[in-house]
Structure 1
Amino acid sequence: MIASWRRATEVDATLQAVAALGTAAAQDGRARTLEAGPVAADALPGLPEGWQVELDAPLAVQANGACGDSRGRMRGPDSYEQPFTVSAPFCRTQRTGAGQ
């Protein structure tokens, strides 16, 4: 039960790290683009230790904080995988499908 709770907390933190890209771009007035494929951990402040994010499509974040649509998956250190989407324009992240 504790492991399940910890995983849920880390999944939420990973989604929040992706969603925070819009806020960060708006605060520093700098656009960002994350290419499709694995995302470097230093590109996602707040990413839990051992977690990885991989995008299926590039994620463009404008300097005003608006995001384009994207999708991807996150992987935990125990090989747990959860697909997610990013929805325009507010960088809203959401789990999709069932985690494995």
Structure 2
Amino acid sequence: MMRTSAIFPGNNKPDRPSAGFTLLELMVALAVMGLAMALVAPSGMRMVASWQERDEVHSVLREIAAIPAKVRRDKAAVTLDSSTSAEKVHELIPLPAGWEMELDQPLKIHASGACEQTDATLTTPHQELRLRIQTPFCHPILL
């Protein structure tokens, strides 16, 4: 003989909790995740921007290190100072838009590619970096 429920005739399934989540549980979980993202996203964006700027700084340092090869190719000594045209400076050291580099003393590069040491300030939109361009190969180091 088959057992039946007095309230629901023909319902012979045992009582057990239903599988899955309620709408309220899902809404609470989404609200918590949204709050966590709102707290984490701004710092994540700053972190990505700082990585990008760091990569651009290293790119500029590589360009400075490549100056001797460019000067040797042209077979003419170059002196970078306040009287040097912006085009010539940009040809030797291309800087991203909004960046500036100020040399403490003129940077002299002989036709052989040898550099004379000087210090410089590289100004980015977010920071100022001191660097030294070392003799004889124009190897830049951050101070």
Distance 1:87 1:34, change over 3 A: same
Match of 1:91 in 2: 138
Between the two proteins, what is the percent identity of the paired residues?
33
Aligned length: 95
Contact in 2 for aligned 1:56/1:70 (Cα 8 Å) = yes
What CA distance in whole angstroms lies between the structure 1 residues aligned with 2:127 and 2:87?
A: 17
Are residues 1:75 and 2:123 paired?
Answer: yes
TM-score (norm 2): 0.59
Contact 1:18 1:93 in 2 (8 A): yes
- Name the CA shift for 1:72/1:51 in 2 (closer, same or farther; >3 Å): same
Question: C-alpha distance in 1, partners of 2:89/2:51?
Answer: 26
More strand by share: 1
Report the residue type matching 1:23 in the other structure.
A
Q: Which has the larger radius of gyration?
A: 2
Mark the CA change 1:44 to 1:21 in structure 2 (over 3 Å): closer, same or farther: farther
Gaps of 5+ in 1: none
Q: Per residue, is there more helix in 1 or in 2?
A: 2
Q: Residue 62 of structure 1 aligns to which amino acid in structure 2?
A: H
Relative contact order: is structure 1 or structure 2 higher (C-alpha 8 Å, sep ≥ 6)? Answer: 1
Q: Are 1:51 and 2:68 counterparts?
A: no
